[in-house]
Chains A and B, each alone.
Chain A
């Protein structure tokens, strides 16, 4: 099916490379997180939460498909969304490290989800009026879905944080463990800088205070303590991943790698 939203016009090579990389970072973060959430199907604490996590996964994978199709066009090497999802190796993935971390318990999954939902809300809001019409269209669609994700994850964060001693202890523990990975959100590199100078990506330095304020508001309602910030040691968006991503990809890519071209 042809697409009516025009792709980016011809870029100078540095911006073209940055644009592709930037789109892959968004795409891979959604794809990997969607794959993680999919593992909850049949295992969530209640049927409603099972459905909820599956729906989030579905939206995230749908967003990833739109973004990967765009990335495939930008790349122009004849690969399509499926080739990008199923035939790349871990170092070629550009997702934020936080997205690939194991699910842990339900509270752990909720904290990871809420941190990324809050981040994606800010990023997609910033992108929905950006100078890249294709990315703006995808972001404007995604932001509406992400609001529901955030309502789900922040609602559970509050119930668990302000719940029993045990649920509070567990989500505070998950928050302490996952918090250092959020530093990667705001660690701007040349890709972020080129994209923001081109009027496409929102500047990370400007996103940080809005994200931080949104986080503090929810943490207050959830009676949770914000952990101290640590130096930035994670490089998922640069393709340097934790060992967890390879395991996730092995499972996700097994079928299309074993039976190339297989379809339902």
Chain B
């Protein structure tokens, strides 16, 4: 696109990030893939070709391929059809990469955002209850370690009685 080739690399980067911010997570559509922290880099190489690095959340997350296809389509539609998509495995994705904005969106959507991630199985076993996204009470109990998607666990609030999803720390 002529208009694009005339812009500076910095302007193109802003434009690329804006395009990526419009790509929703297929399983939690209130979050964009940028909110999720899975866009690892956007850069131009010496020949001017754009590289976009994506990292999977969970190894087996079925959304990964849908996301890849959506990013491809969004880049094509935005005039970046030459862009190269790269899979970044290292460092592995962590729920700590969710943006502050993403955490707020999750809460407003009724999903409790993740606590800080922990490293040992013992710490994981002892992890404290999470706050209910509806009434804010910390008096909740875990119903199930695993929920409707790989990234969520299932909780119940003892104060207001509502069940809710918790976005797991990993």
Contacts and interface: CB of A to CB of B under 8 A. Distances in A.
Interface residues of A, number: 40
Interface in A1-42: 1-5
Contacts of B89: 3-5, 66, 134, 137-138, 141
A7 to B, nearest CB: 12
Interface string B146-159: 11101000100000
B58 A62 contact: yes
A237 interface: no
B82 to A, nearest CB: 14
Nearest to A46: B144
Interface stretch (B25-33, B59-67, B107-115): B59-67
A63 interface: yes
A61 B62 CA distance: 11
Contacts of A134: 89
A52 B59 contact: no
Interface string A45-63: 0011101101111111111
Contacts of B170: 144-145, 148
A46 B143 CA distance: 11
B92 A4 contact: no
B76 interface: no
Contact of A151 (B92, B125, B154): B125
A138 B93 CA distance: 11
B90 A155 contact: no
B155 to A, nearest CB: 12
A136 interface: yes
Nearest to B85: A1
Contacts of B92: 137, 140-141, 144
B90 A62 contact: no
A57 B87 CA distance: 22
B146 A65 contact: no
Given A66-B59, A133-B90, A140-B92, A151 B144 contact: no
Nearest to B40: A4
Given A48-B154, A55-B150, A155-B125, A2 B87 contact: yes
Contacts of A142: 59
Interface in B70-100: 84-94
* Interface size classification for chain B: 20 to 34
A147 interface: yes
B90 A52 contact: no
B121 to A, nearest CB: 5
A52 B87 contact: no
B68 interface: yes
Nearest to A66: B59
A121 interface: yes
Interface in A140-176: 140-142, 144-145, 147-148, 150-152, 154-155
Contacts of B60: 57-63, 65
B146 A52 contact: yes
B130 to A, nearest CB: 15
Interface of A: 1-5, 47-49, 51-52, 54-63, 65-66, 121, 133-134, 136-138, 140-142, 144-145, 147-148, 150-152, 154-155
15 contacts: A1-B85, A1-B87, A2-B84, A57-B60, A58-B150, A59-B59, A134-B89, A140-B90, A141-B56, A141-B59, A141-B92, A144-B92, A145-B170, A148-B124, A151-B145
- In the A-B complex, the 6 residue pairs with the smallest Cβ-Cβ separation, listed nearest first, are A62-B60, A62-B59, A48-B144, A137-B90, A58-B60, A137-B89
Interface of B: 53-54, 56, 58-62, 68, 84-94, 121, 124-125, 143-148, 150, 154, 168, 170
